[in-house]
Amino acid sequence: MIPFLQIAGGLLLLFFGGEALVRGSVGLARRLGVRPLVIGLTVVAAGTSAPEMVVSLIAGLEGQPGIAVGNVVGSNVANLLLVLGAAALVYPLRNSRATAFRDGSILIGASIVFALLALSGTIERWHGVIMVALIVLYLVGCYQVDKRSETARRELEEEVEELEKTAKSDWIIAILLVLGGAGIGFGSDQLVDGAVTVASAAGVSPTVIGVTLVALGTSLPELAASIAAARQRHVDLAVGNVIGSCIFNLFAIMGTVSIVVPIEVPAEIVNFDLWVMLIITAAFVIASAFMPRFGRRAGALALVLYALYIVAQFAGWSGMPHHM
């Protein structure tokens, strides 16, 4: 019972800690005079990915590469199927060919680079340096493009304004930052410990827990943000958030973690989950380029595919040894 309480408590702390950290960070950036466009592209992206970052970092330091890598790969699968699927059920998501060709092609490129590094067996420190450099280049490029786009700039500014409403004073900003950081740190530690204990007791590989339970839990901020954007009819924002989060997961999170501690990629991920992520990513980008929107049928299909992916992990359909 205690490991399950650790997992549940860790997920709750990650969700609320991540929300507090994002709002506090946005408020601080605004106090420092940072432009809303920059905040939307960097502070918000980093804040919503903070749970994945800390969970993967703690897992890597504790010698659990299956959770560290599985969290990132599983989060991308969850973002493209679960998050977008749920958002499309709330309100049909409009696709932009410009977004598909620019951000979508970068996402495919990032996925291929990550896959090549993973296939080498170990993501080394110098791999991490390359990935962090690439995410910096991506963010700089986004800023240069989006500052010339009135629509993109307006949507990011609206998102930043909404997040800033909570942080109205310096004291509130400080409290949000402290509580958010503490929540993510303690929640990540509890989630990893609980996940490892449950995996061991159930005879399931930690990698399976990483790509399913842990990845699902750390994707909750993206799920909440995308559903909220869909409810408010900010359909471009919902799709953009997911694409940006996937790129950030691959380069910023795995890059930073591997700089701190080189990560050995488990065979299960190399032989199954990595390819699932690549196929889903390619299918999403192609669909975005040629379909005017993701309607409720597409959303339902995405949710079914995600359910099958989760079942495959525990049923052994992947053909990989999922037991320890």
Domain boundaries, the chain: 2-315
User: Which fold does the domain 2-315 belong to in CATH?
Assistant: A middle domain of Talin 1 (1.20.1420)
In this prediction, what percent of the chain has a pLDDT beyond 90? 28
Q: With a cut of 90, say whether residue 122 has pLDDT above it.
A: yes
pLDDT of residue 236: 63
Q: Rounded mean pLDDT of 266-290?
A: 91
50-65 burial string, b = 16+ CB within 10 Å, else e?
bbbbbbbbbbbeeebb
pLDDT band at 170 (very low <50, low <70, confident <90, very high): confident
Question: Considering only 40-49, 237-246, 271-280, 284-293, which range has the smallest mean pLDDT?
Answer: 40-49
Predicted TM-score (pTM) of this structure: 0.84
In this prediction, what percent of the chain has a pLDDT beyond 70? 85
Measure the CA–CA gap between 163 and 150, rounded to whole angstroms.
Answer: 20
pLDDT of residue 156: 67
pLDDT of residue 321: 47
Is the Cβ–Cβ distance between 239 and 98 less than 8 Å?
no
- SS3 at position 149: coil
CA distances to 81, 230, 310 from 307, in Å: 9, 22, 5
pLDDT of residue 277: 96
Question: Considering only 141-150, 177-186, 295-304, 312-321, which range has the smallest mean pLDDT?
Answer: 312-321
Measure the CA–CA gap between 102 and 14, rounded to whole angstroms.
Answer: 31
Q: pLDDT higher for 271 or 32?
A: 271
**Tens-place pLDDT, residues 229-259:** 777 776 666 677 788 889 989 999 999 999 9
Ramachandran area for residue 287 (φ above 0: left; ψ -120 to 50: alpha; else beta): alpha
